[in-house]
Structure 1
Amino acid sequence: EKFKDDEGLWSLAMSRQMAEWREKNNLLDSYDEGKKKGLEEGTKLGLEKGTKLGLEQGTKLGLEEGNRLGTLNLLSMQIKQKFAIDAKEWLSTLSLSQLYELSNQLLTCNTWEELQYHI
């Protein structure tokens, strides 16, 4: 009661209490703001790294597929010239290592059946 009756003391106590509340709210605001900025920066960094990794993997896969298709087309033309057979559909079922082996066998095999047998 005496505390409430002393207006100066009451005013000082209330000022101090308000300052503590403001400080607490500022800390909470700072925390929320920092968390938000951290999430934004993390998202930005994640997107940049993900995009870079995606491009690298996409380029690698594109080169591998381009190499496979180039090898397939070349072998298809060679088989057509040597055996007069369109083998593109059959060639498309083979792996890249099988296509490489086929290119070696193509030099030594004399018939289409012999070539297929060795693969």
Structure 2
Amino acid sequence: MTSATGFMWALVPEVISNGEYISGKRVAGIINAIMGLFFKIGLALGGIIPGYLLQVMHFKSGALTQSAAAQTGIEWSMIWLPTIMAFLAMFVISRYPLSDAYVDKMNHILKEKHS
């Protein structure tokens, strides 16, 4: 959670600058609002999906022992789904198009434009 959040918010200034570089308009407020909205949606889904999965797998809250299906649900919701989502996130971020050289060039041009 910490690394994903850190990466997410670390990329926002680059995306804002890139938008300004391409369109000439700086829409920092809109981008930050959209990021906040999707962050909250992601947190909500991260709480809802495991709960529903455990319900479908017949998890019994407070039971001393759980059925094999419930144990499988626990395993999927705590190990496999987060692992799959982490690999999916790594795949998506590996396609991030802004290189360090491009960001440096873009920031230099924007700094000259603003001064």
> As a proportion of its length, which structure holds more helix?
1
Q: TM (normalized to structure 1)?
A: 0.31
Q: TM (normalized to structure 2)?
A: 0.32
Indicate the structure (1 or 2) with the bigger Cα radius of gyration: 1
